[in-house]
Chains A and B, each alone.
Chain A
Amino acid sequence: MATRNISGEAIKELAQIVGSAHLLTESLEVSLYEYDGSVETGRPDLVVFPGSKHEVAALARWSNRHRVPVVGRGAGTGLSGGALAREGGVQVVFSRMNKILEIDVENRLAVVEPGVVNLDLSRAVASAGLHYAPDPSSQKACTIGGNVAENAGGPHTLRYGVTANHVQALEIVLPDGEMVRIGGGAVDPPGYDLVGLFVGSEGTLGLVVEITVKLTPLPESVKTLLAVFETADDATETVATLTAAGVTPAACEMLDGWTIRVVESSIQAGLPTDAGALLLIEVDGMREAAEEQAQAVIDLCRKNRAREVRTAQSERERETLWKARKNAFGAVGRVAPDCYVQDGVIPRTRLPEALRRIGEIGRRHGFDVGNIFHAGDGNLHPMLCFDHRKADEFARAMAAADEIIALCIEMGGSITGEHGVGMEKDRLMPLLFSQADLALMKGVRDAFNPLGLLNPGKIFPGGKGCGEIRIPAASATEGKRGTARVDEAGGSGPSGADGALRDRQA
């Protein structure tokens, strides 16, 4: 049977590569892969489940031969539509390639297939006193392949760094089917840092078939603190004070009042539902250092008017607190049919102001905005809850979201801290990057992915081309207070941000 874009003959070849049991062609089955964790959709023509890297290489050759796009997919928890087949083609799902190939305790390395679930790796090495440090809140489901593509972070990124800091080597399949190893198990491979380039490239440069990651010793001591505040301002001030004082906890997450109540009603973790905000702060390391840090955190919380600072007394209590944090998005799902989570980043000194202004933006558009986020990194996750069936709610949510992003940019921040650009924020890229910046990035993409068959329609503003979107005055690396900047082509519209944002609403 042929699809809209793929001949019957080509489908037969595909079945030979992965086996017909691992190929979905029926419309109903395929439609299940139309979604990921984002509010976007994109429908593949076919779905395949390769069982080995050699099958992935054969798939790439097939795609090249038939000029059909391929899009990798881990667990589909991505929040920017990265795994969606925006231009159709074949969805390559890595769920069968889920083996931990090697655990090297002595050198603290593991070699895994891309479909290994993040938490499964930490569990597998726990008995050796190790863990895989990047811990996205979705870690029970998301895959390490997806983490590599998105350069995922997580609560403990604050102390331990993001995925890029933990990936040592990759084996990749290029769109023409060539399989190449980049980086190395040992440190300091000579030459360009291709691994650094590859991590976070959102599946647009190659398919990852093997990943060598660093394992991190489990800390000797962990202290989990819950600081309760009357107002969100007091909590955000605390984060700014902690950062400025050079106290770097392992994690520092914030929940605002709205979110506390939603989470508590679903998870019953014993959170104080009358509080204005909570900080979930974890310190770890040597016993003495963790104790010292915990005391410093408690003192600073109190100084910033914390009503109470609790210390988890048992592993069970600690797990409950983290469960409340990590399952929050699910809890929100119980109160709203749709939730749009944003991912902007701001300097931590601006947190109090940013949260106040996000609240105002939400109110102006008629929404409650919930905030549960990686406060210690300044990585916001405002959640806009809406019902897509109601006439203008989606449009209003998007308009509010755009204003929030504009705010992050105005503050010298980023449009995405960990969820990626995908197909959700591609049109926003010109707000951060000039035409020259984007042209060089595209040049790199084209060097790896010359026919654009790998995950097309992602990261870069498509369709109209960025030339038609006006470039804003501020730019990412040019200072937080943003000096005016004229892009290469000389186009510096008076309100570029508005130009791009209007583009979406149109």
Chain B
Amino acid sequence: MRASGENLFEPISAIVGGANTSVEAAATRNYAIGGQRPAVVAWPATADETREILRLCVKQRLAVVVAGAGTKLGMGGPPSHYDLALVSTRMNQILEHDPGDLTLSVGGGARLTDISKCLKAHHQFLPLSVPYESLATAGGTVSSGIDSPLRQGYGTVRDFLLGAEFVTGSSHRVKSGSSVVKSVAGYDLHKLLVGSLGTLGVISRLNFKTFPLPEVRRSILATFGEASAAIGFAQCIAHSPLAATSLESLNATLVDLLRRGAPRSASPLPVPQLSGRASEWQVAVGFGGSEAVFRRFRNDAEGMAREWGATDSLLLDDEATAGVWERLVEAVPLLLDSSPAATLVHAGVLPSQLSTACAAAESSAKRHQLPVALLARAVGAIYIAFLPDALNPETILRLAQAVDETAEAILAMQGHWSLPWCPEDLRKRTRLRGDERPDLGLMGKVKQVFDPENILSPGRFAGGL
């Protein structure tokens, strides 16, 4: 039986206080997933309060979804049931920053913007430029496992997360890793939290390695007549000594969206040179370092662009650089905003297969008459966004076919795929699910250890975990 808000208000508010508990529609609506709403929302301030809440949930078999700012709740499937939204935004402290050691510890609900502000004062940063950056929390970012344009230079969060503390589904407060830059004591359980969509634990603390801010950031934007040349150029840079921090190839649809901004978002980008002509691709190359090094970087990168037949190559000034990267970081919300049935496939392929994978997505989109925006990161990550202009059973059908075909092509090249964002109806219509993997059984065992009663985001994860 589904728990009712009235029954839950009292025991939850006894733990976190009435002001931090809500059963009001205005609150529960904010944490809805796929049309499902929680009966109650709780904002614990500490790991211990979190533990108390989870203890209650275990006892009463309540299903909990953990939220930070709620910006990535749309990722993953809807929970099989949903009683309580546990929001971590009060665990938002910067707990410790040791600038001399380049390490940082924050509460799970700490906002990325607060972190950046704290680090910036010491000329440091965390390379976590993820979608919804101005709202997102550190815990939500880790749980979503989402990458950023900076992964070319700095890796993904698993590469600089040193340790974590979290509350498991069996309401134990647990930690792993350390807060120094190197440690191999015990299992690295915190790595399992990355991309786990809140199915293993509620993150109360995260320890990161921080990075020195580069002296300058610059970018070069090169335009190519076709995908293979753009991606070839990006690979050429990736294989060169140039050490780019970002290498993003964008198709014309995406460029056009970035340039215009989505209907609901801000002003157009002040970069008229972003052409957005059909069939053209652009590569945004990011650099971080000194002016002197950039001179050589620019010279070589422009040379390579010419070799790969670039029709145009443009050096962006500081303002334009900031604008372009801001848009690129926010490409996901921009895409989601630009279609009522936006469907995002996230794929991972070998870099040598990037062109083929993009071609497969484009031809499938064409076959099903769907506009498609493509963003290919040189490491092999691709965001494929199908953007029909209406949401109805007929578009869902076309989307399902396009997703299945694209997924098949990616699987055939030993790649991986998942469907982080799509209309709810679509999830039930695709034939493939993104969890066609031999290690699902082991993942199930891990889930069982962390959350034996299956109270944490039941059913939201790959394989229905």
Contact with A along B388-405 (1 / 0, CB 8 A): 000000000000000000
B64-100 vs A, Cβ < 8 Å mask (1 yes, 0 no): 0000000000000000000000000000000110111
Give the number of A-B contacts (CB < 8 Å). 279
The verdict on B369 contacting chain A, using a C-beta distance below 8 Å, is: no
Central interface residue in A189, A219, A434, by most chain B CB within 10 Å: A189
Contact A186 B348 (CB under 8 A): yes
In the assembly, what is the distance between CA of A475 and CA of B105, in Å?
14
- Please state if B175 and A476 are interface contacts (CB–CB under 8 Å): yes
Residues 133-153 (chain A) with a chain B CB within 8 angstroms: 150-151, 153
> Once the chains bind, are B96 and A448 in contact (CB under 8 Å)?
no
- The proximity string for A residues 359-397 relative to B, scoring 1 for CB distances below 8 Å and 0 otherwise, is 000000000000000100111000000000000000000
Task: Find the B residue at minimum CB distance from A178.
Answer: B441
Q: Judge whether A444 is part of the interface by a CB distance below 8 angstroms.
A: yes
User: Is the pair B191, A286 in contact by a Cβ cutoff of 8 Å?
Assistant: no
* A246 with B212: CB separation less than 8 A: yes
Is there an interface contact between A157 and B415, defined as CB atoms closer than 8 Å?
no
Determine whether the beta carbon of B241 is less than 8 Å from that of A479.
no
Chain A CB within 8 A of B439 CB:
yes
Complex CA gap A443/B176 in Å reads 14
**Distance of A244 Cα from B101 Cα, bound (Å):** 7
User: In the assembly, what is the distance between CA of A120 and CA of B205, in Å?
Assistant: 40
B184 in contact (CB, < 8 A): yes
Restricting to B133-154, which residues have a CB under 8 Å from any CB of A?
Answer: 147
Residue from A188, A201, A429 within 8 A of B346 (CB atoms): A188
Query: CB distance B296 to A286 under 8 Å?
Result: yes
Q: Which of A159-167, A327-335, A496-504 contacts B (4 or more CB under 8 A)?
A: A159-167
From B242, B348, B435, B446, contact of A188 by CB (8 A): B348
The chain B residue with its CB closest to the CB of A411 is B180
Residues of B with C-beta under 8 A to A243: 100-102
Contact B348 A187 (CB under 8 A): yes
Judge if B163 is at the interface, Cβ distance under 8 Å: yes
B178 at the interface (CB under 8 A from A): yes
> Is A336 interfacial (CB 8 A cutoff)?
no
Chain A residues with CB under 8 Å of B243's CB are 285-286, 289
Render B104-119 as a binary contact track against A, CB cut-off 8 A, 1 for contact.
0100000000000000
Q: Once bound together, how far apart are the Cα atoms of A151 and B185, in whole Å? A: 10
Q: What residues of chain B lie closer than 8 Å to A418, measured between beta carbons? A: 182, 184
Question: Is A412 an interface residue when CB atoms closer than 8 A count as contact?
Answer: yes
A459 at the interface (CB under 8 A from B): yes
A residues in contact with B349, CB < 8 Å: 186
Min CB gap B355→A, angstroms:
12
CA distance A196 to B188 in the complex (A): 7
Contact of B192 with A by CB under 8 A: yes
Do A185 and B155 contact each other (CB < 8 Å), given the known contacts A244-B100, A440-B168, A478-B165? no
Contact A346 B180 (CB under 8 A): yes
Contacts of A182 in B (CB 8 A): 439, 442
Residue B352 interfacial (CB < 8 Å):
yes
- Taking the closest CB of chain A, its distance from the CB of B444, in whole angstroms, is 9
Among A27-35, A258-266, A305-313, A419-427, the one that faces the other chain is A419-427
B227 at the interface (CB under 8 A from A): no
25 contacts between A and B (CB under 8 A): A106-B351, A162-B184, A184-B415, A186-B380, A188-B380, A191-B439, A193-B191, A194-B446, A243-B100, A287-B296, A288-B295, A348-B102, A374-B182, A413-B180, A414-B182, A417-B182, A417-B183, A419-B184, A425-B185, A433-B176, A444-B187, A476-B179, A477-B105, A477-B205, A488-B173
- Give Cα distance in the complex from A347 to B100, angstroms: 8
Say if the beta carbon of B46 comes within 8 Å of chain A. no
Q: Determine whether the beta carbon of A349 is less than 8 Å from that of B100.
A: yes
Query: Closest 5 interchain pairs by CB?
Result: A246-B212, A196-B191, A414-B183, A188-B348, A220-B241
Residue pair A378, B175 in contact (C-beta under 8 Å): no
Among B163, B191, B212, B347, the residue within 8 A (CB) of A248 is B212
Range for the number of chain A residues in contact with chain B: 35 or more
- Most-contacted residue by chain B among A150, A161, A190, A488 (CB, 10 A): A190
Q: Which of A414-459 contact B (CB under 8 A)?
A: 414-421, 425, 429, 432-434, 436-441, 443-448, 459
Q: Which residues of chain A have C-beta atoms less than 8 A from B165's C-beta?
A: 477-478
* Cβ contacts under 8 Å, B461 to chain A: 191
B contact residues around A240 at 8 Å (CB): 100
A165 & B159 in contact (Cβ 8 Å cutoff): yes
Q: Is B439's CB under 8 angstroms from A447's CB?
A: no
**Is A194 a contact partner of B207 (Cβ separation < 8 A)?**
no
B366: chain A residues within 8 A (beta carbon): none
Q: Please determine whether A190 and B435 come into contact, CB atoms closer than 8 angstroms.
A: yes
Query: Known contacts A437-B176, A476-B177; is A188 also within 8 Å of B416 by CB?
Result: yes
- Complex formed: what's the CA distance from A437 to B164 in Å? 11
Query: Could you tell me how many residues of chain B have their Cβ less than 8 Å away from some Cβ of chain A?
Result: 92
**B residues at A contact (CB < 8 Å):** 95-96, 98-103, 105, 123-124, 147, 155, 158-159, 163-165, 168, 172-189, 191-192, 194-196, 200, 205, 207, 212-213, 239, 241-243, 289-290, 292-293, 295-297, 346-353, 379-381, 414-418, 434-435, 437-443, 445-450, 461-463
- Provide the residues of chain A in CB contact with B292, threshold 8 Å: 288, 292
On chain B, the residues within 8 Å of A124 by CB distance are none
For B294, the closest partner residue in chain A by CB is A288
Interface string of A220-243 (1 = CB under 8 A from B): 110000000000000000001001
CB contact under 8 A between A414 and B178, given known A188-B348, A447-B448, A476-B185:
yes
The interface centre, meaning the residue of B96, B442, B463 with most chain A CB atoms within 10 A of its CB, is B442
Q: Is the CB of A477 within 8 A of B188?
A: no
In the complex, which of the residues B96, B179, B212 has the most CB atoms of chain A within 10 Å of its own CB atom? B179
A323 interfacial contact with B, CB 8 Å: no
Q: Does A404 contact B (CB under 8 A)?
A: no
- Asked if A440 meets B449 with Cβ closer than 8 Å, knowing A197-B192, A243-B100, the reply is yes
A286-B297, A289-B289 known; A187 vs B443 contact (CB < 8 Å): no
Apart from A192-B447, A243-B100: 11 A-B pairs, beta carbons within 8 A: A109-B350, A185-B414, A187-B379, A188-B380, A191-B435, A194-B443, A196-B191, A246-B213, A286-B293, A377-B181, A414-B183
Contact check, A477 vs B179: say whether CB atoms are below 8 A apart.
yes
Closest to B450 in A: A440
Contacts of A420 in B (CB 8 A): 184
CB distance from A249 to the nearest CB of B (A): 12
Contact of A477 with B164 at beta-carbon distance under 8 Å, contacts A190-B434, A201-B187 already known:
yes
- Shortest CB–CB separation between residue B401 and chain A, in angstroms? 21
- State A396–B414 Cα separation when bound (angstroms): 56
Q: Contact mask A182-214 → B, CB, 8 Å, 1/0? A: 101111111111101101110000000000000
Q: Report yes or no: A476 in contact with B163, Cβ–Cβ below 8 A.
A: yes
Pick the residue among B183, B212, B296, B445 that contacts A476 (CB under 8 A): B183
CA distance A241 to B418 in the complex (A): 44
